[in-house]
Amino acid sequence: DTAVSQTPKYLVTQMGNDKSIKCEQNLGHDTMYWYKQDSKKFLKIMFSYNNKELIINETVPNRFSPKSPDKAHLNLHINSLELGDSAVYFCASSPRRAGANVLTFGAGSRLTVL
């Protein structure tokens, strides 16, 4: 009964390929996020969706496209992978209501681009 689950956990692929990471939460949260943690361990927001609507879109290359089919799912598709895309990608979710600001993370998806 994992709260935020993302797949795959590990992904090794060649430059130029297209890949997707899926995320699902069963917490009933309204807001979902994608964070990128690079080799220097810095966690940086990429996207956020609130009830299927994009609310945060940081400076991320167009090759990254999030998709939220419903409020429990937020997938990340990456086109034309580059070496610099190698990182751990964390999905997270939080409730929207005031005073309930907890961010719950998935276990992460480690992407290695060769």
Can residue 56 be called a binding residue for another protein (CB under 8 A)?
yes
Does position 9 bind another protein by CB under 8 A?
Answer: no
Is residue 7 within the footprint of another protein (CB under 8 A)?
no
Exposed e or buried b per residue across 46-71, where buried means at least 16 C-beta atoms within 10 angstroms of its C-beta: bbbbbeeeeeeeeebeeebebebeeb
CA torsion 101-31-35-60 (nearest 10°) is: -130
Is residue 95 part of the contact set for another protein (CB under 8 A)? no
Pick the binder of another protein from 68, 75, 87, 106 (CB under 8 A): 106
Among 51, 55, 63, 82, binds another protein (CB under 8 A): 55
102 belongs to the binding site for another protein (CB under 8 A) = yes
